[in-house]
Amino acid sequence: MSIFSKLTEKPWLAQPEGQDPALQLTADEAWPERTALKFLLATISVLFSLFVITLLGRSQLPDFQVLAGEPWLPLSDRSGLWLSTGLLCGSSLMMQLAQWFSRQHLAKAVLGALTAAVALILLFLFAQYRVWLQLANAGFGFTDTAASNYFYLLTALHGVHLLGGVIAVLPVFLQLDKQSGQTLPRTLTLCCWYWHYLLLLWLLLFWLLTSPAQTLNTLAALCGFGEATL
């Protein structure tokens, strides 16, 4: 219900039978799983926001060294991260297709798209592991620098949430032939939202963790740390 409709209600007047607004369920009340997902995404957003703020604050200390920007830094070559991004985009697209196929009642197509979405997530995590090895071999281990510490921490936390999504979607495979009507499309709609959210979160992390020092300084200044370098 829009704000305008809410403001123009006249509850003192008699309402047609079955149309009393006080007795009508909102979309979220009729779909509690959606409400639960909104709370989950809000919690994840707060968690990552706190980590990002601490990263920006830490970047203002003299010993902080970014991982990209100079040719000799390990993330100046972002090919591994671009590969990861492509895999995650592909997984998000496959999940969207699975949701669309479910609305068309194409069970085999749903199964194929879901399988591809999960497989691409696992490939993404393996590609991320390769990037970790690249960092470690370049002398940027988990405890070697503050920037590498945040890189491992944020990407690992993102990976854990991706694995959580994979685990959550596994029951759909087991019950694919049992779900009918609106049950399967609604379930996959929630999965799509979660997949797309984690894709957007990854794009933000990708940009932040590979940004040069000047960008981090500007962001830190906007958050109240230090002075912007424009």
100 pLDDT higher than 90: yes
| pLDDT tens per residue across span 30-67 | 578 899 999 999 999 999 999 999 999 999 998 888 99
CATH number of the domain where residue 148 is located? 1.20.120.80
pLDDT on residue 187: 87
In a domain, 45, yes or no: no
Digit-coded pLDDT (tens) for 176-230: 766 555 688 888 999 999 999 999 999 999 999 999 889 899 999 988 886 544 4
Question: Could you report the per-residue pLDDT of 75-94, keeping only the tens digit for each?
Answer: 888 999 999 999 999 999 99
Is residue 62 one of the residues assigned to a domain? Answer: no
Number of domains in the chain: 1
Q: What is the C-alpha to C-alpha distance for residues 163 and 40, in angstroms, rounded to an integer?
A: 15
Amino acid residing at 99: Q
State pTM to two decimals: 0.82
- pLDDT for position 54: 94
Instruction: Let me know if residue 187 belongs to a domain.
Output: yes
- pLDDT at position 197: 97
Q: Quote the CA–CA distance of 129 and 16 in Å, as a whole number.
A: 61
Question: Contact, 56 vs 220, CB < 8 A?
Answer: yes
Q: Is 104 a residue whose pLDDT tops 90?
A: no
**Residue written as tokens 């492509």?**
86
Is 100 among the domain residues?
yes
User: Is 15 contained in some domain?
Assistant: no
In a domain, 22, yes or no: no
Q: Are 65 and 147 in contact (CB under 8 A)?
A: yes
Model pLDDT for residues 122-179, shown as the tens digit of each residue: 999 999 999 999 999 888 888 888 999 999 999 999 999 999 999 989 888 877 766 5
Report yes or no on 193 lying in a domain.
Answer: yes
Segments forming the whole domain that contains residue 112: 77-222
Alpha helices in 104-212 (DSSP H): 107-137, 146-174, 183-209
Half-sphere exposure of 220 (CA within 13 A, CB side): 21
**Residue 37 maps to a domain:** no
- Can you tell me whether residue 219 is helix, strand or coil? helix
